[in-house]
Structure 1
């Protein structure tokens, strides 16, 4: 989708505190090399979404820095930041009934001035992004008429059209059927971009990510390859579940077989 090179992402001692003295994110360090897909995982309330909001500047960290190719993201203008990093969030929404093509084309906004029309290349980018997300047939539909899964794919296409160096996504597989979950995660990993993604499904995270970073109570408790991180001990201590870790017969990725709490 983009001929721009991917950027490195480095988060150093990132913290976000609230008024009562608690830290929702507490001194988190993580890195993503250019072109690497890093999954951020953890139980509900562990600080994943808050950390992501600090990375894409929806929240101002109370401590630490976010560096893109060793440049402090907070020092960039909003336009510069949007050209470097695109975000797809859980609360992404479109309140007006634009067509799908119009919504996807909004991804070009950081590159345009005023009412400048799209170039031929940019129109081709929009068409290609819709094709890759399997939404070309929806181009002239109003976005408010779409299902949750269709709308999710439109927003991913919009982020890709932005031509960022880094993609930050918070639960991008929400509302998607299994086919589109797998296709989306495969697309992200093969995009050549640096990707930081929050996922709840640990089996999907193991299959789609080069490395995982595990948060618990706002702190980073483990990081490494999926095989290094996803152990029965960590699953019990961090997620409070019993699971057996096996290898996928085709890919060798770790896969988790959960045991219901009622099972002896």
Structure 2
């Protein structure tokens, strides 16, 4: 299923946070949305998972205006893991992940055998099966992050939207999660701050600055010393990973006095 943002604009209180953003995520592609803090990345994602309604432009799912779908239909097509996901009640991990099945159940339908098997299998994929009976409020930040990703995957979407999913994760789980996304076959739009991980995990990158798209293409095409200096305000050397050939960045820190 293809995702497209066609001239998406979002303004609030007279300030334009995203301006005329056009971006295509092809079926099965992983596209990384990168940029400095405050560049409009999370706002763009919120328009995709319908937390915000664009003030201009359209979000399209396989050519259909997202707003033409019912909320249940769009929840079956698009799942999101957001920065501000929170669980205030101490549900068990199993219960939280099972909430991802809500768009597929009618009324107050009780999850059946397939739902329970799907939850169990997804917990295992995210290496959190041992936490199934733990209360969500007792978990570390990294453990909770993986639970929220599991909830989105259990939703069985065709499009997955993730806002900084590697936050709080140790390096092993960062790599495992991004490898899972690459092999999932889903259409993925993901915000990442670590540009080296983005280069390794994403088919294409889109760079936002002050709400505008300033570059889009393969990691090799996008991650140049000039763009890093202009958009992020940092000096970096771009080298190739010795095993994968992916571009990797070596940052130049200001020397100590």
Aligning the two structures, in what range does the TM-score lie when normalised by the shorter sequence?
Answer: over 0.9
Matches within 5 A, 1:166-185: 166-185=159-178
Take 1:216 and 1:115, find their aligned partners in 2: how far apart are those partners?
44
CA deviations 1:118-170 (Å, max 9, x no partner) are 12111111011000000000000000000000000000000000000000000
Take 1:263 and 1:185, find their aligned partners in 2: how far apart are those partners?
34
Q: Which residue of 2 aligns with 1:24?
A: 17
Take 1:193 and 1:125, find their aligned partners in 2: how far apart are those partners?
17
Take 2:218 and 2:43, find their aligned partners in 1: how far apart are those partners?
23
Picking from 221, 225, 228, the partner of 1:228 is: 221
CA RMSD of aligned residues (A): 1.0
Q: Secondary structure at the match of 2:134?
A: coil
What TM-score, normalized to structure 2? 0.98
Q: Number of paired residues?
A: 257
Which ranges in structure 1 are unaligned for 5 or more consecutive residues? 1-6
Take 1:60 and 1:206, find their aligned partners in 2: how far apart are those partners?
30
Say whether residues 1:256 and 2:252 are aligned partners.
no
Take 1:15 and 1:195, find their aligned partners in 2: how far apart are those partners?
21
Take 1:103 and 1:10, find their aligned partners in 2: how far apart are those partners?
30
Picking from 47, 57, 67, the partner of 1:54 is: 47
Take 1:228 and 1:162, find their aligned partners in 2: how far apart are those partners?
34
Which ranges in structure 2 are unaligned for 5 or more consecutive residues? none
| Offset, 1:115 | 2.1
Take 1:63 and 1:93, find their aligned partners in 2: how far apart are those partners?
29
Matches within 5 A, 1:25-174: 25-174=18-167
| Offset, 1:116 | 1.2
What TM-score, normalized to structure 1? 0.96
| Offset, 1:263 | 7.2
